[in-house]
Amino acid sequence: MSSYLLLIGVTFMTSYLLTPLLRVLGVYLMPPTPVRARDFHRTPTPKLGGVAIIGALYLGVSLAWQIPFFSGIFRSPEPIKGVLIALGIILVMGVLDDLIDLKWWIKLIGQIAVGLVIVSHGILLKALPVGTLHFDSTVLQVIVTVLIIVGTMNAINFVDGLDGLAAGISAIGAATFFVYSYLLTTRVSAEDYANFSALLCAVLLGATLGFLPHNFQPASIFMGETGVLAIGLLFAVATLAVTGDVLGDDAFRFRNVPAFMPVILPVAVIVLPYLDLLMSVIRRTAKFKSPFSADRGHIHHRLVDLGHSPRAVVLILYLWALLIASGVVVISLANRAIAIPLYVAAFICVTLLTWWPWVGKLREKSTQPSGE
């Protein structure tokens, strides 16, 4: 565990210290982004924060490469090399998007290219850890893998609408996924606790936590396309490493401890971004618009319209992310007789907190005297 904590600490400090520097560069080098009607910030804000996140990720992986504890992961370095190359593509594409606002179809092509780079370096979904569900066709394996990567990157992108929202939810998801991957590794191996997914989640956790103080409301910098795509990429690859035959025999060690958890947990970790993505696609296509067109119908917009302040919405969505992601782990690994009642109580509390403005309006309406 100490090696993982070292990576988290180093990536945290790197991201935390790099972000102000990137803010200064963003102010002087990049054109100011106009404040749109759907935005909640009042002044133009630089969007180079994702560069600091990627810089922290690169340093974290480079450090892990030098630590003997992680030697088993780097014995077959192709998967991690694929991640590093994909992050480089995201870095170039994200900065270009912040500079000249790339068309949605250009960004989609770039995201597909990122997915193909990952596939070409051996990270390929060949099976699910549920019974004997295998994808026998290589073409199908590639398509499913790329779809997972592109979908996850866009899910994180769609939820990035309030100060600190995407960074905080990602940190919660990374922390939960890291704890699960690490505990699962300790259960199935008595000798080697190094795990590919846990490594990715550890560096992602540190990078997002280091960025968050600068991004929480009022944000002095945004992560931009660079940050959300990098976060989505690492979540997708970590998911693939747990659920598929990515790392050979190592993946099979996870299949029955318990069998459904590697499928449920990755979905639970980013269920809010995926739900927002699905609702956005349905809403926009129903209006005969591009699924990538922007609007003011995301979950966080609806909660603000309900009566919450932007900061309260962020904290409420943090609670939902923590409740959903940690609940799956707790119910799976803890004493269910204790965990389930506590989880139900927490669910009720968060639900009441979410709908409290609406409840307050109903109470006010019920206490108003009726007209003659």
- Band of pLDDT at residue 60, cut at 50, 70 and 90: very high
Does 208 have pLDDT greater than 80? Answer: yes
Higher per-residue pLDDT: 44 or 118: 118
- For residues 152-165, one letter each, b for 16 or more C-beta atoms within 10 angstroms of the residue's C-beta and e for the rest, the string is bbbbbbbbbbbbbb
Please tell me the predicted confidence (pLDDT) of residue 269: 59
Please tell me the predicted confidence (pLDDT) of residue 188: 64
Please tell me the predicted confidence (pLDDT) of residue 372: 46
Does 367 have pLDDT greater than 80? Answer: no
How far does Cα 30 stand from its chain's mean position?
26
Mean pLDDT of the chain: 80
Q: What's the mean pLDDT in 46-67? A: 95
Q: What's the mean pLDDT in 115-125? A: 93
The CA-atom distances, in angstroms, between 369 and each of 77, 292, 360, 362, 363 are: 72, 47, 16, 13, 12
Pick the closest to residue 23 from 49, 42, 44, 41 (CA basis).
Answer: 49
Please tell me the predicted confidence (pLDDT) of residue 268: 60
Please tell me the predicted confidence (pLDDT) of residue 162: 76
Does 343 have pLDDT greater than 90? Answer: no
Q: What's the mean pLDDT in 191-199? A: 83
What is the percent of the chain where pLDDT is above 70? 73
pLDDT digit string, tens, across residues 148-182: 899 889 878 877 767 888 899 889 889 988 887 78
What is the percent of the chain where pLDDT is above 90? 34
Higher per-residue pLDDT: 346 or 188: 346
Higher per-residue pLDDT: 99 or 21: 21
The upper half-sphere exposure of residue 104, i.e. CA atoms within 13 Å in the direction of its Cβ, equals 8
Pick the closest to residue 89 from 297, 257, 233 (CA basis).
Answer: 233
Q: Name, in order, each residue with C-beta under 8 angstroms of 39's C-beta and a sequence gap of 6 or more.
A: none
Does 32 have pLDDT greater than 50? Answer: yes
Higher per-residue pLDDT: 71 or 187: 71
DSSP annotation of 134 reads B
Cis peptide leading into residue 341 (ω within 30°): no
Does 94 have pLDDT greater than 70? Answer: yes
Higher per-residue pLDDT: 324 or 56: 56
pLDDT digit string, tens, across residues 301-339: 677 777 778 888 888 888 888 887 777 666 666 677 887
Does 228 have pLDDT greater than 70? Answer: yes
Please tell me the predicted confidence (pLDDT) of residue 46: 85
Tell me the sheet residues that pair with 134.
127
- Band of pLDDT at residue 49, cut at 50, 70 and 90: very high
Instruction: List the structure tokens of 74.
Output: 């780097």
- Band of pLDDT at residue 26, cut at 50, 70 and 90: confident
The rounded distance, in Å, linking the Cα atoms of 199 and 183 is 13
pLDDT digit string, tens, across residues 238-293: 888 876 533 444 444 444 444 444 455 556 656 666 666 677 777 777 777 766 66
Rg (CA), the chain: 21
Among 29-33, 79-83, 305-309, 315-319, which stretch is predicted with the lowest mean pLDDT? 29-33
Does 84 have pLDDT greater than 90? Answer: yes
The rounded distance, in Å, linking the Cα atoms of 300 and 165 is 9
Question: Is the pTM value of this prediction over 0.85?
Answer: no
